[in-house]
Amino acid sequence: MTFRNLLISKAVVCLAFGLLLLLVPVTLLAILGAELGAAGTFTAREYGAALIGALFLMWFAKDVQAPDARLAILLYLLVYDAIGVIITVPAVLSGVLNALGWGIALVYLFFTVGAGYVLGRERKPIATS
């Protein structure tokens, strides 16, 4: 996996889930077995807005060459998606989300592993003398 492919893939996922969370959060979460009240709907829409922001970051940064920028983006993905795995797995295990929640956990895991892999490939070895 390359940096560019990782960011394009993440942008596509952010587009899909961001729009769904902005436009039909109650329906999306109902498919996943969760119910939303007014506060939950607001929070889901806020998260959808954040995903649309991440979409633009991923899309417009996909060809960036500056090592510091690439490192910052990869660390963002690694931390964000790892936290996503950590909070989604217990939600599925406790019944907050139904079995379809495992798909969400797998998406987070895919991007966690992908970011770690690309990060490992991009880090320059420390010169020894």
3-44 pLDDT tens trace: 999 999 999 999 999 999 999 999 999 999 999 999 999 999
- What pLDDT does residue 122 have? 87
Please state, in angstroms and rounded to a whole number, the distance separating the CA atoms of residues 14 and 19.
Answer: 8
pTM value is 0.90
DSSP E strands: which ranges in 12-52? none
pLDDT at 125 exceeding the cut of 70: no
pLDDT tens digits for range 38-66: 999 999 999 999 999 999 999 999 999 99
Distance in angstroms (rounded) separating the CA atoms of residues 93 and 88: 9
